[in-house]
Amino acid sequence: MTPGPDATDPQRWARAQERIEDLLLGGPRTMTRGEVHERTGLSPEHTARLWSALGFPTTPDDLRGFAEADLEALELSGRLLDTDTFDAAEELAVARALGQGLGRLAEWQANLVRRTIVDAGRADDPDAVVAAVETLVPTLERLQSYVWRRHLAVTAGRILSGLADPDGEGAGGNRTVVGFADIVGFTRLSRQIDETELRSLLERFETVCTEIVARRRGRIVKTLGDEILFVCERVEDAVDIAFRLHEQVPDDDGQVTLRVGMALGEVLPRYGDVYGPVVNIAARLTSEARPGSVLVDEDLTEALRATDLDLEIRAVPQLAVRGYRHLRPHVVRERSSS
């Protein structure tokens, strides 16, 4: 019987890596850094800054580490500068946002491929790795493009609505509700359960939070492990998000309990994230909130009192936290839950 190929042969794994890179980059890496500079006309300093902003490691000058796809991306970036779409600072900021966001996505997708191979019992076969990439990546790429376009359509619609009706209903002007929800005692809990249970807990947390926020016209800005940061235009939607999170996220075993903090004010949107004092206040309120409660700042309290919602709003002692010495928060509850 003829023995099969040796799965431990380093050359087989090297060839598999080359095939995957060719698939993902549209061809082999044939150019040095100097050749890229010659063909793009961009300065070495410019391309180095852009490459680092995208999150890629530095490539030695004598290494042929660049493919035609890399050249095309740099030329596209240069074209945006030529048309005054971006200035140099904005170009780097966009590159950082893309690099960080898509880097996390790529990490997740690579682990998805790995789990697919391991579950199939073919983790020792480099050909199986290549086959999995060839099968999954085109589908993921199409889905990724669709989701991005769909989100862009929703966001563009929201922006256009605001321009057409700047005095319309909502939180008021440019004011936004910013909220945090985090799992109480997560560090202790993570030490008590195994990796499989922890993954399941986090996946459930993210899934339920995503569904609740999306259904009530909010947006999750980012997930920070055991915590989400979300924003919402209407105070009615925001407080309903908080109540539904407390209602649906806790598990039957009583291991997962949330605390929620929210504040109302103007935010600075920047490359998908949000900044400003209101974000810091919401974060401080979350850290001070009791398990199972919703703690809101004074501005959001006033806005909620102006609605027709049936709420119980109770003042709590003034807080002195880092950066804010005179916070006057309130606990908000639904009347039916009291």
Put simply, whether the predicted model's pTM sits higher than 0.75 gets the answer no
Per DSSP, the chain holds a count of helices (H) and strands (E) of 11, 11
What's residue 49's pLDDT? Answer: 85
What's residue 271's pLDDT? Answer: 79
What's residue 5's pLDDT? Answer: 55
Six token digits for residue 102: 């898509």
Q: Which stretches in the chain have pLDDT values below 50? A: 1-4, 170-173, 337-338
CB 177 within 8 A of CB 171: yes
Alpha-carbon distance of 208 to 202, in angstroms, equals 10
What's residue 266's pLDDT? Answer: 94
Q: Where are the beta strands (DSSP E) in 22-171?
A: none
Alpha-carbon distance of 199 to 115, in angstroms, equals 13
Alpha-carbon distance of 237 to 217, in angstroms, equals 7
What's residue 4's pLDDT? Answer: 47
